[in-house]
Amino acid sequence: DDPPLLSGRRVVVSAGPTYEDIDPVRYLGNRSSGKMGFALAAAAHAMGAEVVLVAGPVQLPTPAGVTRVDVRSAAQMRAAVLEAVGEGADLYVGAAAVADYAPTQGADHKLKKSSPTLTLELARTPDILAEVAQRAPRPRLVVGFAAETHDLAAYARGKLYAKQVDLIAANLVGGGDSAFEGEHNALHVFWPEGETEIARAPKPVVARRLLALLAERLGAAP
């Protein structure tokens, strides 16, 4: 049994990829199974929190006791996250792999393969994490993930300050021990005045360790 470290806390977690439609049969998206975010939602509930899980398109069952909101695009994820956070949240954890760019014009008909090349115009999607961190009312603790292939610490610290979040949980992707899609993960967690590592373990174990750290910091927050 998990100690009720998050008893009475309201937690919002985002998980999975977003899909940005090019036409009715094609999309742009990031790799993400949703396992890390779903493990966080399940663990937060087990630790006593009231949990809203905003999920991109993934093939995973809803963790028991968790309120799930399914979305597809970054714009839909932004709306669902802001609504859930707006109802009052102590903690937001952005574990979703949000697509950074979306086609400026999604076609309502299937694009034909008539030319050898195709140029898509893309525009940046909204940065959900930065918006949650920077607008009021703000959850007391706003936590992002950083998925990096190299220079993990430098990029993670950069995101901590650029997005004005309280903590960044960084994980390596792209290599043999990639955080994407598998059952295991390892985290290097950064906050302005410190850092710690969570050793490689099954995602549910990593989720519990990260949430124990967050519960401690939530307890310390003013």
Cite the annotated binding site for CTP by residue number.
100, 110, 126-129, 145, 159, 163
* Residue from the set 33, 44, 133, 167 that interacts with ligand PMT by CB under 6 A: 33
Taking the C-alpha atoms of residue 222 and residue 217, their distance in angstroms, rounded to an integer, is 10
User: Is residue 190 packed enough to be buried (19+ CB in 10 Å), middle (13-18) or exposed (0-12)?
Assistant: buried
For CA atoms 191, 14, 18, 63, the dihedral sign is positive
The site map against ligand PMT for 68-107 (x = CB under 6 A) is ------x-------------------xxxxx-x-------
Q: Which of 204, 147, 202 is nearest to 180 (CA)?
A: 147
Contact 187, 169 (CB under 8 A): yes
Q: Which of 113, 94, 104 is nearest to 171 (CA)?
A: 94
Number of residues that bind ligand PMT (CB under 6 A): 28
Q: Does 11 bind ligand PMT (CB under 6 A)?
A: no
Dihedrals phi, psi of 201, to nearest 5 degrees: -160, 170
Q: Does 171 bind ligand PMT (CB under 6 A)?
A: yes
* Residue from the set 22, 173, 214, 218 that interacts with ligand PMT by CB under 6 A: 173
Whose Cβ is closer to ligand PMT: residue 3's or residue 181's? 181
Whose Cβ is closer to ligand PMT: residue 110's or residue 142's? 142
Amino acid at 102: A
* Residue from the set 180, 198, 215, 218 that interacts with ligand PMT by CB under 6 A: 180
| 30 is a catalytic site residue | yes
Smallest separation, CB 11 to ligand PMT (Å): 15
Smallest separation, CB 65 to ligand PMT (Å): 20
Omega prior to 137 cis, within 30 of 0: yes
Q: Crossing angle for the helix pair 35-46 and 203-220, nearest 10 degrees?
A: 50
Catalytic residue, chosen from 18, 30, 32, 185, is: 30
The tokens of 25 are what? 């049969």
Whose Cβ is closer to ligand PMT: residue 20's or residue 90's? 20
Residues that bind ligand PMT (CB under 6 A): 30, 32-36, 74, 94-98, 100, 125-129, 144-147, 159, 171, 173, 179-181
Catalytic (active-site) positions: 30
